[in-house]
Every structure is written in structure tokens, then in C-alpha cells.
Structure 1
Amino acid sequence: MTDAHRSSRLLWLLFIALGFMWGSSYFFIKIGVEAGLPPLTLVASRLFFGFLVLVTVVAIAREPLPRSPRQYGHLLVMSVVNIVLPFFLITWGEQSIDSALAAILNATVPLFVIVIAPLFLPDEHVTLNRVVGLAVGFAGVLVLFAPDLGVLEGNNLLGWLALIGSSVSYALGNVYAKRNVTGLRPMIPALFQVTFALAISAVLALVIERPIGRVPVTRDSLFAVVWLGVLGSGFAYLLYFRILRDWGATRTSLVAYLLPVFGIALGVLLNEPVTPNRILGTLLIIGGVALVNSRYGKRRLFGAAATTPTGASAAPPTGARPERG
């Protein structure tokens, strides 16, 4: 076996490992929620462990820090839109929504990016493949939604809305990053967004949920936050940037398609159902995302000549913050 073949095989193994780390996040969020962790407390706890990993890596690598106050301001905004808000919405939503369903719904992020991006980015345009992809993707959401139409009420409905809201928030973060977070080495936005998000979520948790002395620390809850922080918010970054270096943003973003697969598979361990609607809905959403990012059908419908799609797959926003639920 040649060195090139070994390198290629290693990258594919890292790619699958990355998909598992991010795809398993929804599973471990559910475990943390069921173990009694309040949403903001869970978010702050996982970010603490993620921060420890990232600050260690950045210190060892001696990455240069941002010099402009404006850059720190943009990273602060990103920490809210791209971490605090979606993390909270996903965690809160999973109090009443299955982890597998959360993973599937979070795969809609690129669809919302395609809706939002043309409003703020002059080089993003409405093209035929994007319109068709949006239609197919949101048809998948409706297929998922259909079995619950007769029983959606109270927390169940709010859980659905929270998960959709998290996807919208990630999409906004992607667009904001493409417009404002540029010229930084990738690990720096990752570190400072997690740092700001940790500070914000910790303060909110202490003020609103008051977890100290009131939230029991169990083996399940501790394992969940350590997994989410060290792997999902820490080492997953390292894998992402390692793959990104050799594969580029477009190919690396294909990890998006693994997240619902791992989410559904791990949900079985929690006795969550694998229904025909979920399988069909997942396939439609993934198909819609694939169409949105397709090279074909880029004939513009409005605006100037079409450009490459934003590429905000259910994997992290490209060039901003590789982070997911």
C-alpha cells in the first residue's frame, strides 16, 4: 500500500469519526437532559470542557490572536448566534423531542442558509438547483412533521419550534461569519467563540437555573457533558481542520450527511422509533441539501451570475466555527 493510499484511508477514517462525534451530540444531549441537567447548565458544562481542549491546543500551537477590537466584537456576536442560542434551543427542545429527530431537523441548516444568504450577501443568488433543493428539503420536514400533526401541543410543539429555531440560528451565524469573520486562522474563531459562549451561558445558568447544590451530578450527566465538551466541542475541531486541510471546504462539508445517520442509529439505544416517515424525511432533507450544493442547475433565476453555494452543511459553518448540536 502506497503512502497516498494510507493517507486517503486515514482521512476517510477521520471523516467517519468526525461524523460520529457530531452526530452523537444529540444522543448525549438527550442523556444529559434525562439525567436532570437543566438546558443552560448542560450548555455551560460542555463548553467548559471544550474550552479546556481548545485553549490547550491554541497555546501549544502558539496561534496569533486577533488584534482588532472589531474582530472580537464579531466573534462575540458569533458566540451568541452560533453557539449559545442554538445549543440552548437544541438542549431545551430535546426535553420533549427525540434525539434522532433533533439530528434530522438540524440537517436543514443549509436550506435556511440558502433562504437567508441572498438577503445579506451580494454574491449569493437564487438559482434553479437551490429552489428545487429547498422544495425537496422542506418536503422532508413536512414528512417528518406529518405523523405528529394530530398530537402536536404544548411542549411537543415548542420542542419542534426550538429545533427549527436552532437551524435558523446556525444559518444566520453562517451568513454573518461569511460577511464579517475573515482573515483569522481557523482555531482562533473556534476558541474565542467557545470562550465567549462559555462566559455567557455560565452567567445565564447561574442566574436563571441556579444549579449549584440543586442539580445532582450523576455518572450519566457527567459522562454526557465530558463527551459533548471534549469530543463534540473539542477534538472534533482538530479532526475538522485536519480533514479541511487536505480535502477543502466543499468535500469536508459532506460530513453533514452522516449526522442524521448516526443520530438515528444512536437513537435506537434510547428506544426511539425508526419509522418510515423518519427514513423518508431524512432522505428528502439530505437530497435537498445535495441539490442545493449541486453543480447542476445553477442557471440563475434572479440577480447576477450564480456563484458557489454557501456550503453551510449540517457540518459546521465553513470558515467560522465547526460546531454542532
Structure 2
Amino acid sequence: MLIALSVLWGGSFFFVGVAVREVPPLSLVLARVGIAALALWVMLALTGMRMPRQPGLWAAFLGMGLLNNALPFALIVWGQQHIASGLAAILNATTPLFTVLVAHLLTADERLTPAKAAGVVMGLLGVAVMLGAELLGGLGAGLAAQLACLGAALSYAFAGVFGRRFRRMGVPPLASAAGQVTASSLILLPLALLVDQPWALAMPGPASWAALLGLGLLSTALAYVLYFRILAVAGATNLLLVTFLVPVSAIWLGALVLGERLEARHFAGMALIGAGLALIDGRLLRRR
């Protein structure tokens, strides 16, 4: 499931790259979560599943939508206007590091261990090697943008720990995903209307609409069903290891679909990431 999620989120870079040519960032993010919300509510209806009605559930959805979509999406979009996307990806890959620390402080069953710490460091090193040392050339410039991307990673970490409550509340992954993207849509709607004024924009072309549908249905709706399923069975720390795998998926998709060439550093970085994931997972060490 983690690999599938990384492919869905790795593919989102392609969809965003197509749609952002004609759709402003906030409107793009709103379309992404809005399309996903509609699709997930249809799925709830088709499967006969009812949204649970526990007290405070929608307050939890709003908190999750803010931490996991609205805030980090806005920070990353703003940050990528000032720094290279590769550097933004490296900064985003700090999410598991923040998650290990946040989970250690706020949970009783996801404590920090030496193996987890070593695995996170190895994974970060793998991402840096895979994306190329030249991408670090901008480190130090655009400090505010880099802090924004780190803030987004920290927000994802808190979201992973915050989202554990949906399992305790008995909310199925499909309902959790529908509630989160619906809440995100409600948060982002006034911002997009205020900033982008979409009624004054030209109508996007067919390619942009296709990209928005792929982004909403595959990289958001289906992805968040997997997200909440992994969170329920494996915990926040294991879930957010996906940010190590997303660059791997994006590079493989580029090689398979766009014919881009894989270099030795890509394989070296992937090997380091794999070793880091194994250390954090811990099962291989226990068997040894």
C-alpha cells in the first residue's frame, strides 16, 4: 500500500505540471480536493456506507483538513515560487524525521529508537543523493521559502499523529478520506475566491481538465483512502515514510513514461532509501 501511495503521489507532479499552466495554484488545490470530495461522497453512497456521527467528528475533519491539506499545500505552493522544485522535494522529505519526533512526544506506542533515527537520516541522505547534489546549490538562498517547505513537512507530521484518532473513533478509511477533503474544500474555497478570482480566468483546456481529474480522482481521492488505511494499520511514522518513496516513484515514472534516463546516483539514492526504510521498519533487524 505504501508503494501504491507513493506512485499516486509521485504521479501528482505530472498532473500539477500540466494543470498549473492554466490554473492558478490555490484554484488548482481547491479543484484537487473538491473533485476528490465529490468522488468519495459518491463512493460512500454506492457502497451504502454512512458517515459516522460521533460528537466532534467534523471538528476533527477540519483539523485534519487544515494540517494535512490546506496549510501544507499553501506553504509548498508559495515556497516553490522561490526555490527549485528539487530542493523543495528534499525539504519535504524531512517529514518522517519530524514525524518520528512528534510521534515520540505525543504517542505512547511510536517511540523514538536508535534504529528509527538512523533510518530517517539514511533516507534523507538517499533522497539528497538521488535528486543530485547540484540541487543543494540553492540552500541558504530564499530562506523564507525553505522554512515554508519545512513548515509544510512539520504540518504533515502533526497530521499523521492527529489522524490516528479516526481509528479510535471507528471511522473507516473511506469516510475519513471523504471528511478530510470535504473539510479542506471548505477551508480553501474562500481563499481561492479571494486570491485567484476564478470567475475572471479563462476556461482551462482539455489537457488541464484531464490533469485536474487525474489529480483529484487518483492522486487525492484514491490516495487518501490508502493513506488512512495505512495510518490505521501501521501508524504515523510508517505512513509518512511515503515522502521518501515519492521521489523514487516520480523518477521511475519519468523513466518509464517520458523516457528520461536513470543515472547511477538514482540507483544509489534508492538503495539508501531502501536501507533507511528497513531500519525504521525494524523487522529485518529483529530477525537478525
| In 2: Cα distance, 1:259 partner to 1:216 partner | 31
Gaps (5+ residues) in structure 2? none
| 2:109 match | 123
1:207 equivalent to 2:207? Answer no
1:284 equivalent to 2:279? Answer no
1:264 equivalent to 2:251? Answer yes
| 1:135 match | 121
User: Shift in Å at residue 40 of structure 1?
Assistant: 1.0
2:185 to 183, 193, 198: 198
Secondary structure of 2:108's match?
A: coil
1:83 equivalent to 2:50? Answer no
Higher helix share: 2
| In 1: Cα distance, 2:31 partner to 2:78 partner | 15
When the two chains are superposed, the root-mean-square deviation of aligned CA atoms in Å is 3.7
Contact 1:99 1:267 in 2 (8 A): no
Task: Write out per-residue CA displacement over residues 267-323 of structure 1, whole angstroms, 9 at most, x where no aligned residue.
Answer: 46779886655554454344323311222558xxxxxxxxxxxxxxxxxxxxxxxxx
| In 2: Cα distance, 1:61 partner to 1:193 partner | 19
| In 2: Cα distance, 1:286 partner to 1:167 partner | 21
Contact 1:100 1:264 in 2 (8 A): no
Secondary structure of 1:69's match?
A: coil
Amino acid at match of 1:185: P
Task: Write out per-residue CA displacement over residues 106-160 of structure 1, whole angstroms, 9 at most, x where no aligned residue.
Answer: 45433321121111113332212112112212333554574244444766x6655
Contact 1:104 1:263 in 2 (8 A): no
Normalising by structure 2, we get a TM-score of 0.78
Task: Write out per-residue CA displacement over residues 168-211 of structure 1, whole angstroms, 9 at most, x where no aligned residue.
Answer: 22111011122566221221111111111011112111112222
| In 2: Cα distance, 1:237 partner to 1:148 partner | 29
Amino acid at match of 1:110: P
Pair 1:104–1:142, CA change in 2 (3 A):
closer
Pair 1:63–1:146, CA change in 2 (3 A):
same
| 1:68 match | 54
Task: Write out per-residue CA displacement over residues 59-109 of structure 1, whole angstroms, 9 at most, x where no aligned residue.
Answer: 122323232332221111001101112233344445566667666664543
| In 2: Cα distance, 1:15 partner to 1:122 partner | 23
| 1:8 match | none
| 2:19 match | 32
Q: 1:227-246 counterparts in 2 under 5 A?
A: 227-237=214-224, 240=226
| In 2: Cα distance, 1:271 partner to 1:92 partner | 30
Normalising by structure 1, we get a TM-score of 0.70
Task: Write out per-residue CA displacement over residues 229-280 of structure 1, whole angstroms, 9 at most, x where no aligned residue.
Answer: 1222224456x39x97xxx648x96993753332113446779886655554
| 1:304 match | none
| 1:23 match | 10
Contact 1:137 1:288 in 2 (8 A): yes
Pair 1:201–1:135, CA change in 2 (3 A):
same
